[in-house]
Amino acid sequence: MQKRAAEESKDALTSSLSGKIQTGLIPFSSFHLAEAYHQKYMLRSNMAFLVEYEAKYPDREGMVSSTATARVNGYLGGNGSCDQLKSEISGFGLSEEGNKKLLGEVCMGIEGKSCPSNNCSAN
């Protein structure tokens, strides 16, 4: 299914270009993580959360492999709802202040949108 979708996408792009796409489509054989400093971009862009998690995971690999940091990174990137966050925030290992900050950022958002439940507190 993925191969067909990739081929269709490549064909559609090829027909809109004057040249030929040279990139081949090959079967998956192995996965390589990017270097640790490339991981968790949204989390690393927010100093308050980064400081908390760096204290918890002094080595980069710990932060990279943490499910909690992956979830927080996703929420900071705009993935997930306020209600979803509220249901799982206690498992992220943040301080009470960190929880409040994350709820505020996710529920209010960059554009000042309100939380779907109109209640963005942790309680």
pLDDT single digits (tens) 29-77: 898 888 877 889 999 899 999 999 999 999 888 888 999 999 999 999 9
Look at residue 121 and tell me whether its pLDDT is greater than 80.
Answer: no
* DSSP type of residue 113: P
CA distance 64 to 77: 16
Look at residue 83 and tell me whether its pLDDT is greater than 80.
Answer: yes
Cα→Cα distances 109→9, 40, 49, 101, 121, Å: 33, 19, 16, 11, 14
Look at residue 119 and tell me whether its pLDDT is greater than 50.
Answer: no
Give residue 68's pLDDT.
Answer: 96
Q: 47-80 burial, b if ≥16 CB within 10 A, otherwise e? A: eebeebbeeebeeeeebbebebbebbbebbeeee
